Amino acid sequence: MSSIIVVGAQWGDEGKGKITDILAKSVDFVVRAQGGNNAGHTILIDSQELRFHLIPSGILHPNAQCLITGGTVIDPGSFLEEVDCLRKEGIDFAGRLWLSNYAHVIFPYHKLLDKLYEKQKKDQAIGTTGKGIGPCYADQSNRIGIRLAEFVRPDILKQRLQTTLFFKNQELQIIFQQEPFLLDSLLEECDQLAAKLKSFIAPVEEWIAEALKKGKKVLFEGAQGTLLDNNFGSYPYVTSSSTIAAGIAAGAGIGPTQIDHVLGVVKTYTTRVGEGPLPTAFTKEEQKMFVASKAREIGTTTGRTRRMGWFDACLVRYSARLNGLDSMALTKLDILDTLDEIKICTHYRLDGIILESPPVLIEDLARVEPIYEVLEGWREKTSQVSSYEKLPEKAIYYLKRISELIDVPISMVSVGPDRKSTLFLQQFFKKK
């Protein structure tokens, strides 16, 4: 097996960072191919918590080249802040961290407009991170975006930025009564950032193609989750990029036939941050069984507490189909250890009709009735278990039932935030 896509199969926050980090120890390349610093992944190593947003999780492994491709959007300041954090932590990334010339750049006006749009929507706000991701992708689609290739060329940047600012300042002044951005001030700021970014720019898409041709081990790290996909997610409560496996391949500049395995990361219950329906949301009484901080359900990027609910097989079945999942990594099993009973949503009921997957309209998703199957909890600690076979019998039954409902085999089970708290049912890459 040479190439794997790790993709979130719910609304994000499934534990992709940890799974990527575990697999990255045995690969040659780790690739980010969509989204921006609106993503967040946390890795726990020997009780030390490391948080990343844009930089791939593989940066912790000295063998791994970390590539950020043209499908992403780059906030230069945020990227350089993450680089500084790596230096402070003593993580050696010299010659291992690279950016694509094709990646579009997030400017200050993108971030301002992101916040203004959300404020204007009032009770229909999406719950964005405010990082400027959506407005940046919108400019890309409108063909007034600016890529890193232009960003580091002062002569070209001035011309492109002048054109873009005409539209942005019109919008800011006329619609939102905001002060305009000044071309010279922006150019001065860009010049300083570009000088620091130049050393990170490389032909990363060519490197990926060559690596796959030579049979090198390449791991593609998805950001956000399938149900936030701009095309097939719970629209309009979605992100601005394609978060499914095919979107990741496109963002990396490769064909889907070059992917050997699609690994879906799935939490053993359901969470969501931001706005939008959560069909299996806990009742107030059920929520009392969980404490968000204990369950580690606080967003890495937003700092917001995530809403929690029971495992939703309807959503994950849909996600498995969209991604063509070959296997699943199930995470956070340990959070369920103390429960007397555990519910699984097997189907939805909408207007008397039984549904196998979520309806298209968000209004219909908000009013579906989850059909639950109730299982007995195992009431045993799983965080110290060293192999899948040693899990409590009822925990194994719960995992098998999820696999049956989704019709996708389980390859990994996480029973805690640390690297060591991971049980393998399948080996992907041999350790280098």
Q: Which residues contact 427 (CB under 8 A, 6 or more apart)?
A: none
Query: Which one-letter amino acid corresponds to residue 432?
Result: K
CA distance 41 to 156: 35
Q: Is 84 a catalytic residue?
A: no
- Rounded Cα–Cα distance for residues 131 and 129 (Å): 5
Give the phi and the psi of residue 167 in degrees, each rounded to 5: -70, -45
Catalytic residue among 21, 28, 41, 75: 41
Task: Select from 70, 75, 77, 136 the least CA-distant residue to 103.
Answer: 70
Q: How far apart are CA 57 and CA 18, in angstroms?
A: 8
Tell me the pairing of strands 218-221 and 29-32: parallel
CA 390, 330, 17, 326 torsion-angle sign: positive
CB 243 within 8 A of CB 225: yes
To which residue do tokens 């939008």 refer? Answer: 276
Task: State the Cα–Cα distance between residues 148 and 152, nearest whole angstrom.
Answer: 6
Three-class secondary structure assignment of 239-287: CCCCCCHHHHHHHCCCCHHHCCEEEEEEECCEEECCCCCCCCECCHHHH
Residue tagged active-site, from 13, 75, 326, 334 = 13
SS (H, E, C) 388-406: HHHCCHHHHHHHHHHHHHH
Query: How far is it, in rounded angstroms, from Cα 336 to Cα 426?
Result: 23
The CA-atom distances, in angstroms, between 138 and each of 39, 142, 169, 186 are: 18, 6, 16, 20
Clarify whether 53 is annotated catalytic: no
Catalogue the active-site residues.
Answer: 13, 41
